[in-house]
Structure 1
Amino acid sequence: MQFAGLALTVILSLSPIYATPLLTTSSTLSKRIPVTDCLDVLVFDSPGFQNASDASQTIASVEAFAFLKDLDTDELRQSTVNALNSIGFNPGEDAIDTAVDRLKLFAAVGVPRVTVTVEAEGCSETPKLTATALEDLGETTSLASFGTCAAPATNGGAEITLTVNGSDFSSARIFPSGPDGFGVISDIDDTVKISHSLDTLQLVQATLFDEPAPIPGMPEVYASLARSLNSPQFIYVSGSPYQLYPFLRDFIDTTFSASNGPLFLTNVTVTDLNVLFQTLTADDGNATLVYKIGQLTRIHEMYPGKSFLTVGDSTQQDPETYATIYNTFGGDFVRCIWIHLVEGADNSDERFKTAFEGVPQERIRLYTDDQIPELAYVDVAGGQC
């Protein structure tokens, strides 16, 4: 998505409190460590929207992850090598460096009771995020009001840039969007990115070693949607773990720059990388369904007046998810459902008949790889799907 106007500089600061590390040895549990000395904070890109009672006020759903700065990458490296060897991978040192870099947030120790204050130049309010909780392992998601901003939440408005002082991670952004018009909700793996979700070895290769590659034709399709739908709000909702956020965000930034937007990823807590590899390829069905329904419900709460094109694939539960949201919130919210038919997935008529019960056939498009170029010519704004 391309934005015009002035980008805002935002400073994120930690409140002057103390935090006890979530995962520590008993000898250090009682130590009180100043968060400014030991913590790093990853702030995720966020969707912005108008206050329903005052359109001049900008609100954002801001997610942050607070963790100890000292990442034990040596232990992570050995765990990665052991896990890869167990499934038949024997990569060289350079490949392991790439894998460890992409997996490094799995070595992060989340810290509870951390409060983050967000200051935005040009905005009238400096909201505090809800303190990170023990049960969320250092994560927090808050509806934060920025008040009146120089970049209001309107379709095609300027991004609001969030800069984390002292963080090793790149700055975050708020993508503002108005209350009406169009949006696109998209899965990532095997919808816009080649991931081989149905094959453990190929998925590990694509996730840890290969340069990420798009599904051929999809960057052009999304760029076309960005134009034809008049700067829609793109939101990427994936079952991938949030620890892969820097890797996936960079892929969307560079490959889908015309259709950029926030990423909603799952909170996957694993300490064994073998379990992680199994989790990434497992058809966990109900868990993914429940997670994505929750995230799309969250999007509806932010943008109840928008119409969304929903795009996914057939490897897991995207058809069932989008149909559930259609039947819950209606056809004004879910304008169309597009599903990429992935070879080897359950693409049977019986599956889709059950999955799409209650959804009019004209709202559904099932497409194969060779049909992707045609998507750029579908007049979604004019009522086609």
Structure 2
Amino acid sequence: MALQSAAATAGRVEQLFEETEQEHITRENSNFSAFEADMPKLANRFNFSWKDNISSYLGRKNPFFDYVNPETDYVWILDTTAYRNRIGRWHAEFVAAYFVKNSGKDLSQIVAWVSEKIGLADDEQARATVAKRLQPFADQILPAHAVDIDLLGLNARLGPSGRDGISSDVLAIPGNDYKDGQVMSFKAVNAEATPFNITFAKSKGYAILSDVDDTIKKTLTSSPVGILKTTFAEEPEPIKGMPELYKHVNQKLNEPVFFYLSASPYNLYPFLRNFRQQYYPNGSMILRDASWMNLAGLLANLTQGTEHYKVDRIEKIHDWFPKRKFIFIGDSTQTDPESYGEAYRKFGKWIGAIYIRKVTGVAEMDDGQKNNPERFEKAFKDVPRDVWYVFEDAQELYAKIDALPEIK
């Protein structure tokens, strides 16, 4: 997996990608830079051994790695989707994030800061929720480590992790007799790690690529305070009508494979996975591979480099499923129109439809620029007009989904 992240140092976020026009509008209108500069710095998450520090640059070829210790370490293994390669064998990309247990011990300062910024009442239970969700941003990451998984009776190694405490491995899956849409659960070996699912998807049929933040989940990505409130304090809230729409899509298109592509960092994986399980069809959650040493990185992830990141991930999905017919669903707060338009210009009729939710009535969002018809015309230049559609109410899409041609 090509790693794309911004480094956060001394309370300042450094861009690795030039800000796009839409990102500049968002960040300037809500003064993200000043807000990020004021955010307290978390404990040093890069306080690992000299050996791990140096050898982490070697990636998977690192001969000096260690296996995770179940007593001191924990691993998140992300759900994945298996695909057939050119010779018909099943493969999948396995992504894992490695941490040292309870290493971010003193969260009181950052909890107090977040609580003050979002106007949280002096409620012990509410602050405990903030602390729990902040923990993955504070725990020390773990480079140069690996974990074994039980892959249908065979031990397969994931990792070792790179400098960001993340590993990505494409592995062959034993066996061949899997049904389209079949979901199987797997576990790690001798490690404290999240169980994970593999969804098997054959080469043909429909597929859905959905944005998460402000498309299916209220995140308020146009506001730094809104991001903090919806991420750390509030119960995650689905966008009105979208769970019902996705249920209809799942039924009407014969259980298509789902990919949920978010600009959020992997630190939010359990939070977002639980939300998806509660409201939306099964599918792989694709998040940005960055483990931040500063909370400002969360805001940067959601507002900088998103177009480049999403197009890169879409290209990877295309490599896995070039014969699937994809439906893209996003919103107008970030760069979904620009990302999806660029993807169509690259891959053409591989994308059967693009639906963009027009977000309105959000504080600190410049509706006039974000929802300007000229913006959409520019983003979807050379994309046929009958392919893309901007909607405000999920009900508008039922007839369009029903009219999609059947794939045999």
Could you give the per-residue CA deviations for residues 49-68 of structure 1, whole angstroms, max 9, x where no partner exists?
113202xx321111011221
Mapped pair 1:266 → 2:288: yes
Alignment of structure 1 residues 160-239 onto 2, 5 Å: 160-165=184-189, 170-239=194-263
Find the counterpart in structure 2 of residue 327 from structure 1.
345
Aligned residues: 344
Q: CA deviation at 1:111?
A: 1.9
Could you give the per-residue CA deviations for residues 158-193 of structure 1, whole angstroms, max 9, x where no partner exists?
212122356655411111101111100000011001
Find the counterpart in structure 1 of residue 24 from structure 2.
none
Distance 1:34 1:326, change over 3 A: closer
Distance (whole Å) between structure 1 residues aligned to residue 53 and residue 376 of structure 2: 52
The structure 2 residue matched to 1:78, chosen from 109, 118, 126, is 109
Distance (whole Å) between structure 1 residues aligned to residue 174 and residue 316 of structure 2: 21
Distance 1:171 1:66, change over 3 A: same
Distance (whole Å) between structure 1 residues aligned to residue 377 and residue 404 of structure 2: 26
Alignment of structure 1 residues 217-366 onto 2, 5 Å: 217-256=241-280, 259-273=281-295, 275-276=296-297, 278-279=299-300, 283-284=303-304, 287-331=305-349, 333-343=350-360, 344=365, 345=367, 346-366=370-390
Distance (whole Å) between structure 1 residues aligned to residue 49 and residue 325 of structure 2: 50
What is the TM-score with the length of structure 1 in the denominator? Answer: 0.82
| 8 Å Cα contact 2:150/2:188 also seen in 1 | no
Distance 1:33 1:316, change over 3 A: closer
Find the counterpart in structure 1 of residue 29 from structure 2.
none
**Structure 2: stretches of 5+ with no match in the other structure:** 1-44, 55-64
Distance (whole Å) between structure 2 residues aligned to residue 155 and residue 25 of structure 1: 45
Find the counterpart in structure 2 of residue 372 from structure 1.
394
What is the TM-score with the length of structure 2 in the denominator? Answer: 0.77
Distance 1:35 1:118, change over 3 A: closer
Distance 1:277 1:290, change over 3 A: closer
Which residue identity does 1:193 align to in structure 2? K
The structure 1 residue matched to 2:140, chosen from 101, 104, 109, is 109
| 8 Å Cα contact 2:142/2:165 also seen in 1 | yes
Could you give the per-residue CA deviations for residues 96-155 of structure 1, whole angstroms, max 9, x where no partner exists?
21112122211222222223332223x6x5433342122xx21011111112155x2x42
Partner-residue secondary structure (3-state), 2:174: strand
**Structure 1: stretches of 5+ with no match in the other structure:** 1-20
Q: CA deviation at 1:83?
A: 4.2
Q: CA deviation at 1:293?
A: 0.7
Q: CA deviation at 1:69?
A: 2.2
Find the counterpart in structure 1 of residue 25 from structure 2.
none
Distance (whole Å) between structure 1 residues aligned to residue 108 and residue 171 of structure 2: 37
- Alignment RMSD (CA, Å): 2.7
Partner-residue secondary structure (3-state), 2:180: coil
Q: CA deviation at 1:328?
A: 0.5
Find the counterpart in structure 1 of residue 74 from structure 2.
40
Q: CA deviation at 1:271?
A: 2.6
Distance (whole Å) between structure 2 residues aligned to residue 166 and residue 254 of structure 1: 29
Alignment of structure 1 residues 45-194 onto 2, 5 Å: 45-54=79-88, 57-72=89-104, 74-85=105-116, 89=120, 91-121=122-152, 126-134=155-163, 137-148=164-175, 152=178, 154-156=179-181, 158-165=182-189, 170-194=194-218
| 8 Å Cα contact 2:68/2:147 also seen in 1 | no
Which residue identity does 1:99 align to in structure 2? V
Partner-residue secondary structure (3-state), 2:371: coil
Distance (whole Å) between structure 1 residues aligned to residue 188 and residue 236 of structure 2: 26
Could you give the per-residue CA deviations for residues 315-350 of structure 1, whole angstroms, max 9, x where no partner exists?
01000101111110111x111110000114411121
| 8 Å Cα contact 2:73/2:192 also seen in 1 | no
Q: CA deviation at 1:23?
A: 1.9
Distance 1:119 1:105, change over 3 A: same
